[in-house]
């Protein structure tokens, strides 16, 4: 027994998944969205650079999206998808961690990605509020404040320091475990007035807000925000039985995370009938981009279903004509 059969089951009910579901529901497809309720930007106070809804809290944006899709007949189920397999009829069996299951003709995977934070005491507590990764998401909110950059490696650290200098004149680059800048890098940092602090960072300190960093030497450096470079890994374990596995992503030689490979911009994966959209395909994608990717995948899935239905209709009509 399953909990229902749908044209499309969408895994993940945030920007990418809800946008895909909206397009599909408006195309008169039966759609179920299964969502575990912890989108990547959940700790942030607002979604920025989302035209028309600037600064809306993430939970409000998804609540509005849910209301919009259910208005067109889509179903939202709170739960976690544990596996997706194929049955003998070619349909997808979507199994949930609570023991339930759904049948689907197509699957849209929109389950996002997870940031793997540096293992420094105190750091995780401020994630998404005072510990930041993206200047376009948070730069305006910390403009003109004392900002620290935690170098993951020298090249990334220098890049981030020069970038965040656009939002504040008070930038400190903490070398942490990376080497010393020299040559052109040292010249660029000095020219932009960026202070460089050597030594391993052993703690991020503060009370309700971050107030500074502690170094292995015991020295404390006051800061109000800390920028990190965290690898971002696709949340795709439930696709493993279908043979879909995230692959490592690099910028230059730097590993930036893992992502599910998509065969084309519609999000078609290597498995026919399974599409993927949003951060699980492109880790650096922002909310408006994830919504656009979900929209495109929804249209591609609808076209795929129309092609299948047309083929079946032609077969049925030919077999009717062949009958005496």
Would you tell me which residues interact with ligand FAD (CB under 6 A)? 11-17, 34-41, 43-44, 47-50, 80-81, 110-112, 115, 128, 134, 137, 235, 238, 278-279, 285-288, 290
Q: Which of 140, 112, 130, 110 is nearest to 298 (CA)?
A: 110
Q: Which residue is nearest to ligand FAD (CB)?
A: 278
Q: Which is nearer to ligand FAD, 40 or 214 (CB)?
A: 40
CA distance 50 to 15: 11
Nearer to ligand FAD, 105 or 138 (CB): 138
CB of 291 to ligand FAD, least distance (A): 8
Q: How far apart are CA 178 and CA 200, in angstroms?
A: 9
Q: How far is the CB of 191 from ligand FAD (least distance, A)?
A: 30
Using CB atoms within 10 Å of the CB of residue 28, give its burial: 0 to 12 exposed, 13 to 18 middle, 19+ buried: exposed
CA 190, CA 186: separation in Å to the nearest integer?
Answer: 6
* Cβ distance to ligand FAD smaller for residue 134 or 299: 134
Residue (15 or 213) nearer to ligand FAD, CB: 15
Measured from the CB atom, is 77 or 197 closer to ligand FAD? 77
E strand segments, the chain: 5-11, 31-35, 75-78, 81-86, 92-96, 101-109, 113-115, 131-132, 147-150, 171-174, 195-197, 201-206, 210-215, 220-222, 225-227, 232-234, 247-251, 254-259, 274-276
Nearest approach, Cβ of 160 to ligand FAD (angstroms)? 15
Pick between residue 29 and residue 40 the one whose CB is nearest to ligand FAD. Answer: 40
Residue 42 CB, shortest distance to ligand FAD, in Å, is: 8
Q: How far is the C-alpha of 1 from the C-alpha of 230, rounded, in Å?
A: 42
Contacts with 1 (C-beta within 8 Å, 6 or more apart), sequence order: none
Query: Shortest gap between Cβ of 184 and ligand FAD (angstroms)?
Result: 31
Q: Report the nearest approach of ligand FAD to the CB of residue 99 (Å).
A: 14
């Amino acid at each position: 027994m399953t909990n229902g059969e749908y044209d499309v089951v969408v895994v993940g009910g945030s920007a990418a998944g809800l946008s895909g579901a909206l397009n599909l529901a408006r195309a008169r497809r039966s759609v179920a969205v299964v969502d575990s309720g912890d989108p990547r930007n959940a700790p942030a106070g607002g979604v920025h650079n989302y035209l028309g809804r600037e600064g809306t809290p993430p939970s409000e944006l998804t609540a509005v999206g849910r209301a919009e899709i259910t208005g067109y007949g889509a179903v939202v189920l709170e739960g976690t998808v544990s596996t997706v397999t194929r049955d003998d009829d070619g349909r997808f069996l979507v199994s949930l961690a609570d023991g339930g299951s759904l049948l689907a003709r197509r699957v849209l995977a929109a389950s996002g990605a997870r940031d793997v934070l540096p293992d420094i005491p105190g750091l995780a507590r401020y994630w998404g509020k005072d510990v930041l990764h993206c200047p376009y998401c948070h730069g305006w909110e910390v403009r003109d404040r004392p900002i620290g950059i935690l170098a993951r490696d020298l090249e990334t650290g220098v890049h981030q320091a020069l970038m965040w200098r656009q939002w504040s004149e008070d930038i400190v680059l903490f070398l942490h475990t990376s080497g010393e800048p020299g040559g052109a890098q040292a010249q660029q940092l000095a020219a932009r007035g960026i202070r460089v602090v050597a030594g391993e960072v052993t703690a991020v300190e503060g009370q309700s807000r971050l107030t500074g960093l502690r170094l292995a030497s015991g020295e404390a450096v006051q800061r109000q925000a800390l920028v990190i470079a965290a690898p971002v890994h696709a949340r795709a374990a439930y696709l493993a039985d279908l043979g879909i596995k995230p692959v490592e992503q690099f910028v230059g030689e730097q590993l930036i995370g893992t992502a599910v490979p998509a065969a084309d911009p519609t999000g078609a994966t290597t498995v026919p009938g399974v599409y993927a959209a949003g951060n699980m395909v492109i880790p650096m994608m922002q909310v408006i981009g994830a919504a656009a990717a979900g929209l495109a995948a929804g249209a591609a899935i609808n076209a795929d279903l129309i092609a299948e239905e047309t083929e079946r209709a032609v077969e049925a009509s030919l077999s009717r004509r062949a009958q005496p």
